[in-house]
Amino acid sequence: MHIQHIEAIYGRPTAIVLMACRVYLETASMESFMDYVGNSQVDWKEVIRLCRAHRIRPTAYRVLLKVSPPAPWAEMLKKELQKLTMQSMDKARETTRLIGLLLAEGITVFPYKGVAFSKRFYGEIGLRESGDIDLIIRPSDLPAINEALKKDGYLPEEEDYQQFLGWERFTRAHRGYNLQKLDRQDLPVHLELHWRIIYDYFGVGKFDNEFSFQASDQLQVYDKTVPVQDNYQQFKYLYLHHSLHDGHGYLKTALDIAMGLKSLNLTKEDYSNQPVIREITETFSLPVAVHASNQLFATTFELPTDYPTDKTLGKLLENTLMERSKRPDELGKNFFSYFHFHTSLIRKRALFYPEKRRKMVFYYRNLAHFFHPNFIDYRIFRPKSMLAYRLIWIIRPIRHFFLPTDPLRRDMRSEERALLQEIKQKSN
């Protein structure tokens, strides 16, 4: 995709952000980027907003600072970059501390995304924007992990809901468990524990949806060593998270995939010969994401010999570049906003199912999941028995019409503030 083509369709700020990614990936020169930026006036406010929305600030800001933005934008970029770097370092230290704490309890645990992906595929901890700490665990270990983390100062976000369901039913129905605490600067640390790669209702079929618990390597993070799986497994986890959960909806997902591909350096034969790559190629359309990377970032990653180009590529590129151009305040909080947001996300996810039959199964399972209660329904209705809880399957669609879930979860902020206040009181 020529940069002038990007500018004509998506606007000059998007073209600048994308070209900054190309410079970082070394598919465009710094000189050509400086010439492009200097050709006409730059809306720096919108460029920065897009970097935040696409969650690529650590990489994009480093490139943007080299073109000497005018005041006050240069100072803003420097301060934000410094803050992000410090946050990444703090998350890395906390990740390794938590892994050490749980390993000392005899619990097997691995880093997921975050520090592991940053170190292995970006080369540095501070080059990838990350909001949470993610760990891979066995579901059978969750009760013991929950108690250990509560003693450490973490508070579960959904413990009331889990206690109602029981550990076994909860881990069967979910793929993760969330906790929070405050760091040394009184900022929230959000911890996610994962025991399944993607939700079962995504229609995985024969796909292996379990994490590997084979430590094939050791990762050095500051003065700590943590166990990690091999690069193919880590790439698989991240690719599925970004495609099926995020719908390839912003540049961070595409950049992560590109950095993974750059490190793996796949050949045409790997798509059929390497077991992990073959699995996600045949089951979840990996080649279309590789082709999208080549179009977005001007990379030259190999594609399978028999790869057919179809309309999926165009939709994927549009999803990546267009969605984050919308401002959050343009998204309403009523039922129709909720319905549009989630049906749009389902359509994006469906792009990664190459077989029509599996695509239809995916749509069916998403429809069935629409009736499935979650912790929000539990807290609204507070059922006293499992029979009353099962009645929510009938009530939930009606509830969404009158009390829709906020697509951006803005309505959860008051609950999060209350939880953080509780954490602060307990720590005092």
Q: How far apart are CA 349 and CA 343, in angstroms?
A: 10
> Among 78-82, 121-125, 292-296, which stretch is predicted with the lowest mean pLDDT?
121-125
Both tokens of 338, joined, read 């909720």
**Residue 34 falls inside a structural domain:** no
**Residue 314 falls inside a structural domain:** yes
**Residue 285 falls inside a structural domain:** yes
Total number of domains in the chain: 1
**Residue 5 falls inside a structural domain:** no
Q: How far apart are CA 160 and CA 375, in angstroms?
A: 9
The pTM of this model reads: 0.90
Owning domain of residue 129: 90-427
**Residue 133 falls inside a structural domain:** yes
Per-residue pLDDT tens over the stretch 218-258:
888 888 888 899 999 999 999 999 898 888 888 999 999 99
How long a stretch of residues is the chain?
428
pLDDT value for 220: 86
Q: How far apart are CA 141 and CA 109, in angstroms?
A: 10
**Residue 4 falls inside a structural domain:** no
H helix or E strand, kind and range, residue 262: helix 251-264
**Residue 36 falls inside a structural domain:** no
Q: Which long-range contacts (CB under 8 A, 24 or more apart) does 338-345 make?
A: 338/400, 338/404, 338/405, 338/406, 338/407, 339/400, 339/404, 341/407, 342/407, 345/247, 345/249
Q: What mean pLDDT is reported for the chain? A: 88
Is the pLDDT at 348 greater than 60? The verdict is: yes
| Residue in the block written with tokens 């270990």 | 141
DSSP states along 278-298: HHHHHHH-HHHHHHHHHHHH-
Q: How far is CA 298 from CA 38, 252, 262, in A?
A: 21, 16, 12
Both tokens of 273, joined, read 């010969």
Q: How far apart are CA 227 and CA 229, in angstroms?
A: 7
Both tokens of 342, joined, read 């989630």
| Residue in the block written with tokens 């909860």 | 170
**Residue 165 falls inside a structural domain:** yes
pLDDT value for 58: 95
Asked if 110 contacts 100 with a C-beta cutoff of 8 angstroms, the reply is no
Both tokens of 78, joined, read 């420097």
